[in-house]
Each structure stands twice: as C-alpha cells, then as structure tokens.
Amino acid sequence: MEPAYRGLGRCACAFWLAVAFDVFGLLILLLGVFVNVFFYDFLIYAGAIVIFLSLIWWVFWYTGNIEVPPAELEDDVGLLKKDKGGAGGIGGAVRRLSSRVSSGIRSSLRRNGGPSAHARVARQPESLPVALATMTPREGTPHTVSAAVDCDVAMPHTTTETSPT
C-alpha cells in the first residue's frame, strides 16, 4: 500500500526550498527598492536572481509530483504491450526511425574514431641535434657558437676567475 500524500505531495522539501528562495529574494529586492543605500542596484539584481533561482525548486517540486500510471510508463521505457503489437502506427515508425538514426550515429563514431575517453596527445616536434664547437677566445672579437643548423649566436667576451686550490 502506497502512503497517502496530502497537501504538498511527495516533494515537500523542494516546495519549502522554493518558498524560502522566493521570500528571501523578495526581501532583498524590496530592501534595494525602499532602503536608501548606495548599493541599492546590487540588492535589486541579487533579489531578482534569487527569485529566478527559486524556479529550479518549483520545477523539481512539480515534476516530482507528476503521477504516471504504470500502463503508460511501460510504453516509454521500451516494454511494449503484446496486444498493441509494438510496431503499429506513427509511434512505431518514429521509434524505428529514432533507433536507426541513433545506431547509425553510434556506429559512425566508432568507425571514424570519434570522441574517445583518452585525451589526444599533441605530437611534439622532433628535437634537432645541435653540435657545439669549442673555440679558443681571441682578444677583442666576440665569441660565436655555431650549431649544425647554420645559426650563429654572438656571445660577449667574459672572463672567469678561479681561486687557487
């Protein structure tokens, strides 16, 4: 035996949350309208947003209280009755078309390597080997280091002091 729901139905929590959001939003909105503060526009917008968010709870409460007889629910979840035949009429044609389109999309995604669970790794460019030559420093000329890719880099002359060991 199902419990008898009176008044608010099965989703009383969603109902009271919706009412609380409405009351709180209305209070904030009215504060913004009637109280002389420099941030009145913030209060007006915040109250309107809170009232808008209460719609979520109203939708939860309403949809949670919709009662669907099991006879109608059987058809929606794919358990067709034997006496209807399952494939007759416009409903059967729409169901077959929907099944054909969804299976075609699913198979084409599998075939073409569609969205997968693994993130695709971007290919890194191959590293180029660079050969460095050791050169003896000449006085008064900048030092250059040449690489295998024909790129000359001018380096200023620096001296290194070492402590005697």
CB 145 within 8 A of CB 132: yes
Q: What is the pLDDT of residues 120-143, one digit of tens each?
A: 555 556 667 777 767 666 676 665
Helix-helix angle 12-34:40-64, to 10 degrees: 160
Range with the poorest average pLDDT among 1-5, 32-36, 61-65: 1-5
> Is residue 63 scored above 90 in pLDDT?
yes
For 5-44, write each residue's pLDDT tens digit: 677 888 899 999 999 999 999 999 999 999 999 999 999 9
Using the CB atoms, write b or e for 99-126: b if 16+ within 10 Å.
eeeeeeeeeeeeeeeeeeeeeeeeeeee
Residue 54 has pLDDT above 90, yes or no: yes
DSSP, collapsed to helix, strand or coil, labels residue 102 as: helix
Give the span between the Cα atoms of 7 and 83, in whole angstroms.
38
Distance between CA atoms of residues 87 and 89, nearest Å: 7
Quote the pTM value: 0.45
- In angstroms, the CA 67 to CA 63 distance is 9
- Taking the domains of the chain in order of start, what are their residue ranges? 12-64
